[in-house]
Amino acid sequence: MTGKLYGVGVGPGDPDLITRKAWRLIESASVIAYPILEDARSFARRIANDAVRSDAKVIKIKIPMSVERGPAQAAYDKGAADIADALRAGDDVIVLCEGDPFFYGSFMYLHARLKDEFEVEIVPGVSSVTACAAAAHLPLSARNEALTIIPGPVEGSLLRARIEAAEAVAVMKVGRHLEKIKQIVEDAGLLDAAWYVEYASLPEQVVMPLSEKTGDAPYFSMILISKGKDPWL
């Protein structure tokens, strides 16, 4: 019997925000897998750690720090091959995914490589966007408002155009792009409507008006902008 591949979202950070389904799958897993950036620790593994069996086999997919496509593609090829070996040996494989597997996750690279040969199930998870809104006590979008989610590394003029054209906005992966994003938000007259959140749902969570945030931001940070005025409020 060939095993089944699961892409399992582990949510934004708090292990209690893992779904019941994901928790049960992880607890019963004999093989788990996740990508790590070179030799860094896996955030997804940290989130799910209490559910991982001590005897579980772990497939670590080491992604090189590179903007080139070749090395990353090769790493996912290798990871997919390792996972395929386990599946062919009859084990189910649980891939741990920060947040949700198909929401800015790397699981899609494994999925693309394995979906034609193996049975795959995706278990959605709580995304960082709604976790940040919860942390900031800021309703994201209501009724007929559009919500635009934009990665912070996007080039400045495109980011500016997208923020100006949008209604509600979440800018993800702020990191070293903080000052660029903040300037664009200020130029658009939206600084008073913008919140900064880092490590939502974790003990080290930070929430503050964007206007007060300066200096460095971690990768796991977000800016939320609510332009809307809901008439039912």
Q: Which is nearer to a copy of itself, 89 or 165 (CB)?
A: 165
* Sequence-separated (6 or more) residues with CB below 8 Å from residue 207: 135, 136, 195, 196, 197
Interaction between residue 122 and a copy of itself (CB under 8 A): yes
Is residue 36 involved in binding a copy of itself (CB under 8 A)?
Answer: no
Token representation of residue 116: 């034609």
Q: What are phi and psi of 203, to 5 degrees?
A: -60, -30
Check binding of 14 to a copy of itself (CB under 8 A).
Answer: yes
Does 137 participate in binding a copy of itself (rule CB under 8 A)?
Answer: yes
Q: Is 81 in the site for a copy of itself (CB under 8 A)?
A: no
Please report whether residue 67 would count as binding a copy of itself according to CB under 8 A.
no
| 14 close to 126: Cβ distance less than 8 angstroms | no
C-alpha count within 13 angstroms, C-beta hemisphere, residue 196: 24
Q: Please spell the DSSP secondary structure of 150-213, one letter per residue.
A: EETTS-HHHHHHHHHH-SEEEEE--GGGHHHHHHHHHHTT-GGGEEEEESTTSTT-EEEEGGG-
Q: Which stretch binds a copy of itself (CB under 8 A): 27-35, 117-125, 182-190, 204-212?
A: 117-125
143 binds a copy of itself (CB under 8 A): yes
Q: Choose the stretch contacting a copy of itself; rule: CB under 8 A; options: 37-45, 82-90, 137-145, 181-189.
A: 137-145
By CB under 8 A, tell whether 116 contacts a copy of itself. Answer: no
Is residue 220 within 8 Å of residue 174, measured between CB atoms?
no
CB distance 109 to 136 below 8 Å: no
Number of residues that bind a copy of itself (CB under 8 A): 68
Query: Cβ closer to a copy of itself: 17 or 87?
Result: 17
Which two three-digit tokens encode residue 159?
């980011």
Nearer to a copy of itself, 89 or 233 (CB): 233
- Residues in contact with a copy of itself by CB under 8 A are 7, 9, 11-12, 14-21, 23-24, 69, 72-73, 76, 100-105, 107-109, 111-112, 115, 120, 122-127, 129-131, 133-135, 137-151, 153-154, 162, 165-166, 201, 230-233
